[in-house]
């Protein structure tokens, strides 16, 4: 009895210690380290750039490495999309089904996965329809379901169902819409791109500032002219009536208002002259109307999830 009493606590402590080690190792094993996550993020960004250029095979290589370091369902989702872009539909479907079954997959990605799987199923079953997209002006960059497919005009057979359409052209607002493609009737979209206009040059901004200052100067000159004229009348009246104290004050006031008015008019005329000159020079030396659109920045679809690149990538 005595031996068993001394042996029991030793056995219990050993078992507990072994369990704690097992639990601790279970918490560590399979969890990506900070360095793993950093490398996975770098590989992910490289994959995003490759995907954007239509280099799907290169993107697949980067994403497979990233997923081996950090098994995040969002990385796997983009791997599936890259498989689809590379026409590897079976692998794309398998990856997306795994993403769909993962409880850690963000809700926004789950919504996308459902539509993606339906589209892939239609492609595999040859459920195709004709889609044509025209834009005014033509030559806009076209993204279909987050994949670059060239420029407008566009015409091809795609899976039936809904397709996300994104048009981008330098100097124009981007256009996002949804094309619903049927099997029997061709679907045609005619999209109008609105010009963003052009940015003002530094000379134009300076000219408008000068014109504004000149306008204020003229207004100030007119406003102060009337008190100066009134003081002059008061001075003449006071001298005629022999009111020398009043005349002295009127002379002082008149001199002040006259100086302010003259200075304001001077600023006004100089400002207007400089502004008009700068504006004329800017308009004559600036780009022609045909090149004006190139001044405007490119319209880019911003992904709402943590500033990740567009084209459907998530992080």
pLDDT tens per residue, range 125-170:
888 889 999 999 999 999 888 888 888 999 988 888 888 899 999 8
Instruction: Report whether pLDDT(272) > 90.
Output: no
Relative to beta strand 147-151, strand 141-144 is: antiparallel
Length of the chain: 315
Instruction: Report whether pLDDT(113) > 50.
Output: yes
List the CATH code of the domain at 32-124.
1.25.40.10
Lowest mean pLDDT among 182-196, 258-272, 288-302: 288-302
Q: Compute the distance between CA of residue 96 and CA of residue 82 in angstroms, rounded to an integer.
A: 11
Q: Does domain 128-192 have CATH number 1.20.1250.20?
A: no
CA 85 from centroid of its chain's CA atoms: 24
Residue 198 pLDDT level (bands cut at 50, 70, 90):
low
For residue range 57-97, what is the model confidence (pLDDT) as tens digits? 999 999 999 999 999 999 999 999 999 888 898 999 999 99
Q: 216 CB contacts (<8 Å, ≥6 apart)?
A: 267, 268, 271
Instruction: Report whether pLDDT(27) > 70.
Output: no
Say what the pLDDT of residue 199 is: 64
**To the nearest whole number, what is the mean pLDDT of the chain?**
77
**pTM higher than 0.75, yes or no?**
no
> Per the structure block, which two tokens stand in for 102?
């993962």
Relative to beta strand 128-136, strand 187-192 is: parallel
Task: Return the higher-pLDDT residue of 80 and 275.
Answer: 80
């Amino acid at each position: 009895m005595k031996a068993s009493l001394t042996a029991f606590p030793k056995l219990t402590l050993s078992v507990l210690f072994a369990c704690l080690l097992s639990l601790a190792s279970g918490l560590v094993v399979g969890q990506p380290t900070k360095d793993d996550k950093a490398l996975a993020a770098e590989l992910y960004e490289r994959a995003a750039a490759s995907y954007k250029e239509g280099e799907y095979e290169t993107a697949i290589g980067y994403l497979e490495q990233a997923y081996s370091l950090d098994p995040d369902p969002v990385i796997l989702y983009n791997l599936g999309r890259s498989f689809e872009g590379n026409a590897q539909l079976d692998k794309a479907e398998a990856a997306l089904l795994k993403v769909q079954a993962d409880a850690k997959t963000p809700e926004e990605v789950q919504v996308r996965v459902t539509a993606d799987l339906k589209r892939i199923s239609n492609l595999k079953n040859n459920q195709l329809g004709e889609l044509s997209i025209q834009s005014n002006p033509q030559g806009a960059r076209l993204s279909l379901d987050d994949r670059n497919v060239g420029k407008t005009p566009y015409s091809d057979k795609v899976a039936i169902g809904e397709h996300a359409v994104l048009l981008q052209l330098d100097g124009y607002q981007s256009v996002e819409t949804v094309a619903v493609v049927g099997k029997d009737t061709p679907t045609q979209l005619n999209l109008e791109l609105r010009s963003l206009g052009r940015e003002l040059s530094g000379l134009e901004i300076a000219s408008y500032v000068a014109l504004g200052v000149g306008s204020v100067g003229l207004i100030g000159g007119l406003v102060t002219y009337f008190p100066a004229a009134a003081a002059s009348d008061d001075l003449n009246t006071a001298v005629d009536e022999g009111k020398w104290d009043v005349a002295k004050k009127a002379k002082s006031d008149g001199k002040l208002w006259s100086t302010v008015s003259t200075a304001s008019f001077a600023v006004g005329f100089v400002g207007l002259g400089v502004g008009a000159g700068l504006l004329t020079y800017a308009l004559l030396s600036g780009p022609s109307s045909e090149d004006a659109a190139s001044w405007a920045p490119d319209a880019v679809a911003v992904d709402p999830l943590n500033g990740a690149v567009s084209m459907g990538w998530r992080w």
